[in-house]
């Protein structure tokens, strides 16, 4: 059986497909994204759309992706309320009957377990978050959202042994390469994919420093650097 597959949509957006075919979309921002190669119309049917926080470069296309893919919308209550009211999304298309969820909570959606974690950032509505996602075959990934490094990442790695971590490295608004490499050491995933870089001139433009620092700080972690629009098996 093939393993899980991960496609980077660019910036913080990903499509993760489990070995059993379940699809999770995280932070879809395609229209207006200068590095995106995909359109909303290109995305497959999905189980869940996860929104880490209410900034345009993470939440802009969430409602359209929910409509296109048939997925359940997952996010913190205030952000979910804003998105569903603006787009007319019915409560039954939102996790927990329209309420959303909060840090520490877990929703099981068509067999896929989604746990919301903390993140250190800001948000137009609600609070920022990350997600731990566990597919039915046990494959587990962490999307950190936009965040600075925090010591609790070590606890997340202990609670949820990770096959994959998706970590921002761009600096300015999130962790830079040094912080993200130490985050990888705390989390101890099998593999890590960097994100939230190169999209804008103000951000780090490549992942070379991150790759070198992970080799030093977390030598057991494999770094996979993707191009927007590329999908790999993990």
Predicted TM-score of the model (pTM): 0.98
Is 5-233 in CATH node 3.30.360.10?
A: no
For 99-117, write each residue's pLDDT tens digit. Answer: 999 999 999 999 999 999 9
For 19-74, write each residue's pLDDT tens digit. Answer: 999 999 999 999 999 999 999 999 999 999 999 999 999 999 999 999 999 999 99
Q: How far is CA 183 from CA 119, 157, 166, in A?
A: 12, 10, 11
Mean pLDDT over 217-232 rounds to 98
Quote the pLDDT of residue 1.
Answer: 41
From the number of C-beta atoms within 10 Å of its C-beta (0-12, 13-18, 19+), residue 113 rates as middle
For 147-160, write each residue's pLDDT tens digit. Answer: 999 999 999 999 99
Sign of the torsion formed by the C-alpha atoms of 73, 77, 79 and 83: positive
- 194 confidence band (pLDDT: 50, 70, 90): very high
């Amino acid at each position: 059986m093939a393993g899980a597959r991960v496609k980077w949509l660019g910036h913080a957006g990903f499509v993760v497909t489990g070995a059993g075919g379940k699809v999770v979309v995280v932070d879809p921002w395609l229209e207006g994204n200068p590095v995106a190669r995909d359109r909303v119309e290109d995305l497959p049917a999905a189980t869940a759309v996860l929104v880490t926080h209410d900034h345009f470069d993470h939440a802009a296309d969430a409602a359209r992706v929910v409509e296109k893919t048939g997925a359940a919308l997952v996010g913190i209550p205030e952000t979910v309320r804003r998105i569903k009211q603006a787009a007319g999304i019915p409560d039954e298309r939102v996790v927990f009957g329209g309420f959303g969820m909060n840090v520490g909570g877990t929703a099981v959606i068509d067999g896929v377990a989604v746990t919301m974690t903390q993140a250190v950032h800001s948000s137009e509505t609600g609070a920022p978050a990350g997600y731990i996602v566990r597919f039915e075959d046990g494959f587990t990934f962490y999307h950190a959202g936009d965040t600075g490094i925090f010591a609790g990442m070590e606890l997340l790695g202990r609670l949820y042994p990770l096959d994959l971590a998706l970590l921002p490295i761009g600096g300015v608004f999130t962790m830079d390469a040094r912080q993200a490499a130490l985050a990888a050491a705390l989390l101890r995933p099998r593999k890590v994919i960097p994100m939230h870089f190169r999209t804008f001139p103000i951000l780090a433009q490549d992942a070379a420093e991150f790759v070198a620092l992970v080799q030093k700080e977390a030598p057991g972690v494999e770094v996979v650097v993707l191009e927007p629009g590329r999908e790999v098996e993990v």
